[in-house]
Structures are given as structure tokens and as C-alpha cells.
Structure 1
């Protein structure tokens, strides 16, 4: 199954929004080419333009190593974190569920 990271970040001020947006677009174009990366999506909240999400999809949990070994990584965090609220990027890790097979629904 696909291993997925979901990252949420928030720009610290209005001046940081466009900088983060451009960096995320640039990063997606770079990281999509990494070995064992299924895709790398970037999104901006429709109600609060300061909030962004990144969905990183890898073939396996171990595939992250190619992402972290990419020389671009050394430029990404130092650029983005100072533009964020409390220099914090919220991260959650997921294993995608196998939706290719039929399942029997359990009673409510």
C-alpha cells in the first residue's frame, strides 16, 4: 500500500503567503521526480489563504529516504519554516487503505 505524509503549515503573515506558495510549487516539481515517489501534492485552503497542505505519497515508508536525500531538501525547510507560524509544520503519517477489493460492511 502507499505510504502517505500529510503536512499542514500556516504562513505567519500575509507577506509570507506568496513566498510559501511559490516554494511549494517549486518543491512539488522537484519531489515528484524522486525515486519511489507516487506523487507530491500542494494545496492552499480556500477559506484561509495562509493555510497550506502537502500530501506526499510514497511507494513504501522506506521510500522517504530518497526524498530526504534529495539535495533540494536542504533548501526547503530553511526557507519555509521561518515563514510559518511558530516555524511549525504539522505532520501526520498514514498507510492508505486497500480499496481494490470488496469488503463486507459491518452492521451499525
Structure 2
């Protein structure tokens, strides 16, 4: 069963903030796709609101998330992103239906 996380981010105002987030999310996707147990890790920007972003993370199983969190990049990514966000990250966890 595939374990999926959908994280919604909402940026502070400013084109520079948007560009910083875009760059960091593209970088993060390249890093996290290499983690064992990761099926996909991709990001999207809302079509109407450029301050709204979504991250879709798909893992082979829920325990694969431990590898993701143990990646040294995880903590630096979060610390970089935190001051750029207007609100807390909204994280939804699901098991995909078979």
C-alpha cells in the first residue's frame, strides 16, 4: 500500500519569497527522490494564487517516511522554509486505495 503525504504551504507576500520557495522546493524534490522507499516527491504551485504551494510525497510504505525524516537535508529545508511561510504547513497523510 502506498503511503502519501500532501503538504500545503502558504508563502508570505513578495515575488522574492515566491522565487526562494520555488528554488528550494525544486532542490528538495531532487534530493528526496533519491531516498530509499520514495516513489515520488513533487511540488506544485497553485494556478490562481502564486503564494499557495502543494507537495505530494509518495512512499512505498509508512515506515519509508523514517528515511525521509532522517535525511540531513530535512532539518535544513524546514529551517529555510519556516520564515518564508505566512502560516503553518498543513500536512495530510493518507494510504492510497488499491
Aligned to 2:21: 20
TM-score (norm: length of structure 1) = 0.87
Please give the residue correspondences for 1:1-108 in structure 2 after superposition, counting only pairs within 5 Å.
1-14=1-14, 15-86=16-87, 88-98=88-98
Q: CA RMSD in A?
A: 0.7
Segments ≥4 residues shifted beyond 4 Å: none
Structure 1 residue 74 displacement after superposition: 1.7
Deviations 1:47-99 (A, max 9, x none): 0011000000000111000000101112100000110013x11000000011x
Distance across 1 between alignment mates of 2:45 and 2:81: 15
Q: Paired residues, what number? A: 97
TM-score normalised by the chain length of structure 2: 0.96
CA distance in 1, matches of 2:75, 2:91: 18
- Unaligned 5+ runs, structure 1: 99-108
Consecutive unaligned residues of structure 2, counting only runs of 5 or more, are none
Offset of residue 28 of structure 1: 0.1
Distance in 1 separating the partners of 2:80 and 2:89:
13
Q: Hey, what's the Cα distance between the residues in 2 that align with 1:20 and 1:32?
A: 18
Distance in 2, Cα, partners of 1:27 & 1:8: 15
